[in-house]
Amino acid sequence: MLRPRPRRWILPPLVAFTTLAAVTTSADAAPRFDPATFYAQATLRHMTLEEKVGQLFVATVWGKSADEVNPANRVYGVDTPTQVVQRYHVGGVIYFNNPSTDNVDDPTQLAHFSNGLQRAALSSGAHIPLTLSIDQEGGNVTRIVAPATEYPSSMAVGATRSTQAATRLATINARELRAMGINQNFAPDSDVNSNPINPIIGVRSFAGDPDLASRMVSAEVKGYQQGGWLPDTVSSAAKHFPGHGDAATDSHTGFPVISRTVEQWRQIDLPPFKAAIAAGVDSIMTAHIQVPSLDPSGEPATLSKPIMTGLLRDELKYDGVVVTDSLGMAGVRQMHPDKEIPVLALEAGVDQMLMPPDLNITITGVLEAVHSGRLTEQRIDQSVTRILKMKFNRGILFNPLVNERAVAYRVGTPESLRQIQDISDRSVTVLRNDAGLLPVRTKPARILVTGWDNPAFPGLPAEPVATLAKAVGGTAIATGGAPSAAQIGQAVAAANGSDLVIVLTNGLRTSASQTSLVNRLVATGKPVVAVAAQVPYDPAFADVPTWITTYAWRDMSMASLAKVIFGQISPRGKLPVNVPTADNTKVLFPFGTGLTW
Q: Report the catalytic residues.
A: 325
Beta strands in 104-230 (DSSP E): 131-134, 184-185
Are the C-beta atoms of residues 431 and 549 closer than 8 Å to each other?
A: yes
Beta strands in 40-160 (DSSP E): 57-60, 92-94, 97-98, 101-102, 131-134
Are the C-beta atoms of residues 513 and 115 closer than 8 Å to each other?
A: no
Are the C-beta atoms of residues 590 and 578 closer than 8 Å to each other?
A: yes
Are the C-beta atoms of residues 499 and 447 closer than 8 Å to each other?
A: yes
Closest-CA residue to 302 (of 235, 383, 390, 242)? 242
**Dihedral (CA of 577, 143, 420, 168) sign:** negative
Are the C-beta atoms of residues 583 and 489 closer than 8 Å to each other?
A: no
How many whole angstroms separate alpha carbon 189 and alpha carbon 113? 26
**Dihedral (CA of 284, 288, 293, 299) sign:** positive
How many whole angstroms separate alpha carbon 248 and alpha carbon 334? 17
**Dihedral (CA of 290, 292, 298, 300) sign:** negative
How many whole angstroms separate alpha carbon 551 and alpha carbon 559? 13
> Got the DSSP string for 497-511?
T-SEEEEEES-GGG-
**Dihedral (CA of 82, 83, 84, 86) sign:** positive
Side chain identity, residue 232: D
Are the C-beta atoms of residues 122 and 132 closer than 8 Å to each other?
A: no
Q: Give 311's DSSP letter.
A: I
Closest-CA residue to 553 (of 481, 505, 589)? 505
Closest-CA residue to 430 (of 283, 564, 321)? 564
How many whole angstroms separate alpha carbon 284 and alpha carbon 276? 9
